């Protein structure tokens, strides 16, 4: 389980409700005597099976999943998934062209309606806005950017065309910066904003070019994109896919250069490959985590995001395994937020036990381990205190 700033209030309430008599019971198990005070071992009261719904951790729901159609489309009106164990975050991942269909004309209503409805019910929201799609929008980067002179190429993906920009093109970078300046001015630092992905490079914003020729985006270009986000999102946690550095074939030091630049700028990491069959064919381990060592560098102070593959696809390939691959990935990355690609009601109907089990694996808990209480209250005495020792389960 992963660190998180929240305390598991279930156990605090449990402790406060327990009297000294309840703690000691009819025997002395877990109880020891000090001078004028009594020691209690609280470990026997721990229960890690109850879903502990801490803030700033847990499941996230792909409300927009690279398009504005799925996976919210099957939810009935008024269904806000309040019975989904540990669901805390609404993830909006979609093309830039939906937000700015014409230069300088922003479609704020597209996301403001979602934000207002879900945050009013206690959820957080996160964003990834992409410049390249494969099966949804031909122009994830708005077509007007190409017409303004930005260079790029049309790619054919399984019979569908999509336009991929040159990620280092100065026209693209200027238009992208203007967009994020406006977006950040509206949303940066909002209390409900969990994080923003640096998702402006590669297929679906994952940093790789799997459908565009498998070329490596130059390090200087990656840095340019990071700089845009750092310039405008001053109060928001920034996350980037590990594929931005991990898909590189050339042994030219690019991996380390990008990694160091991310660390120097306080960028956290996510992995979007859990359960994807293709990674297994490359020889990755059971959890499909490409570079587990990079998460060890950030998880104690920046959230880690772990995304499982599309549920329908990984089920066909027998890669789901009752969520065990995702669970192994949580252990390897110390994931804070975990997610899946599917319609949530259908997924939950088949996986409620998984949802409960893994909700307690991501993030972290504080458990009360020991308590020391005075035997009696003494006027003016320094012995009148309650001492608690907590253990972080990470």
Predicted pLDDT at 163: 96
**Calpha distance 327→311 (Å, rounded):** 15
DSSP 70-107: TBTTTPPTT---TTSTTEEEEEEEEEHHHH-SBTTB--
- Cβ–Cβ < 8 Å for 58, 362: yes
More confident residue, 4 or 92: 92
Structure-token pair, residue 33: 């005597």
| 21-49 mean pLDDT | 66
CB atoms within 10 A of CB 188: 15
Q: What is the pLDDT of residue 22?
A: 46
Q: Is residue 230 pLDDT above 70, yes or no?
A: yes
Which ranges constitute the DSSP H helices of the chain?
Answer: 9-17, 20-24, 96-99, 109-119, 143-147, 170-187, 219-232, 243-246, 254-264, 277-281, 292-295, 311-316, 324-333, 344-359
The Cβ of residue 177 has, within 10 Å, a number of other Cβ atoms equal to 17
Q: What is the largest CA-CA distance in the chain?
A: 82
- CA–CA gap between residue 95 and residue 176 (Å, rounded): 12
pTM: 0.87
pLDDT at residue 339 tops 80: yes
User: DSSP string covering 212-257, please?
Assistant: TTSPPPPHHHHHHHHHHHHHH-SSS-EEEETHHHHT----SSHHHH
pLDDT one-digit tens code per residue, 264-284: 999 999 999 888 887 777 778
Taken in order of first residue, the domains within the chain and their CATH numbers are 9-48+367-393 (no CATH), 58-362 (3.20.20.80)
Structure confidence at residue 318 as a pLDDT band (50, 70, 90): confident
> Do 362 and 331 touch, CB atoms closer than 8 A?
no
Segment 25-44 shows an average pLDDT of 67
Average pLDDT estimate for 200-218: 93
Q: C-alpha distances in angstroms, 357 versus 48, 50, 323, 361?
A: 9, 9, 9, 7
Of 111-115, 310-314, 390-394, give the range with the top mean pLDDT. 111-115
């Amino acid at each position: 389980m992963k660190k998180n700033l929240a305390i598991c209030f279930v156990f605090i309430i449990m402790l406060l409700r327990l009297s000294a008599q309840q703690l000691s019971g009819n025997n002395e198990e877990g109880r020891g005597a000090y001078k004028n005070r009594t020691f209690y071992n609280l470990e026997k009261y721990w229960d890690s099976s109850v879903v502990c719904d801490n803030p700033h951790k847990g499941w996230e729901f792909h409300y927009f999943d690279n398009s504005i159609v799925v996976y919210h489309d099957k939810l009935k009106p008024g269904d806000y998934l309040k019975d989904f164990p540990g669901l805390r975050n609404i993830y909006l991942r979609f093309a830039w062209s939906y937000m700015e269909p014409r230069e300088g004309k922003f479609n704020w209503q597209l996301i403001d309606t979602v934000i207002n409805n879900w945050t009013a019910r206690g959820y957080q929201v996160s964003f990834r806005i992409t410049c390249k799609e494969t099966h949804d929008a031909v122009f994830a980067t708005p077509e007007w950017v190409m017409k303004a002179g930005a260079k790029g190429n049309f790619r054919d993906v399984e019979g569908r065309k999509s336009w991929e920009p040159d990620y280092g093109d100065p026209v693209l970078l200027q238009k992208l910066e203007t967009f994020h300046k406006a977006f950040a001015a509206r949303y940066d630092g909002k209390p409900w904003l969990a994080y923003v992905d640096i998702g402006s490079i590669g297929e679906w914003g994952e940093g790789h070019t799997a459908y565009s020729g498998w070329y490596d985006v130059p390090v200087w270009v990656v840095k340019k994109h990071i700089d845009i986000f750092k310039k405008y999102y001053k109060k928001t946690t920034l996350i980037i896919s590990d594929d931005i550095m991990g898909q590189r074939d050339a042994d030219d030091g690019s991996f380390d250069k990008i990694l160091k630049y991310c660390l120097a700028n306080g960028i956290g990491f996510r992995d979007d490959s859990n359960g994807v069959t293709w990674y297994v064919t490359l020889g990755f381990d059971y959890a499909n985590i490409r570079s587990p060592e990079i998460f060890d560098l950030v998880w104690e102070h920046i959230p880690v995001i772990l995304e499982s593959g599309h549920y329908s696809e990984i089920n066909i390939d027998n890669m789901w395994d009752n969520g065990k691959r995702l669970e192994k990935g949580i252990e390897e990355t110390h994931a804070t937020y975990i997610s899946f690609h599917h319609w949530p009601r259908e997924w939950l109907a088949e996986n409620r036990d998984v949802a409960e089990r893994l909700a307690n694996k991501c993030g972290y808990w504080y458990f009360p381990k020991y308590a020391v209480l005075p035997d009696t209250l003494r006027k003016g005495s320094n012995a009148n205190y309650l001492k608690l020792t907590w253990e972080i389960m990470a």
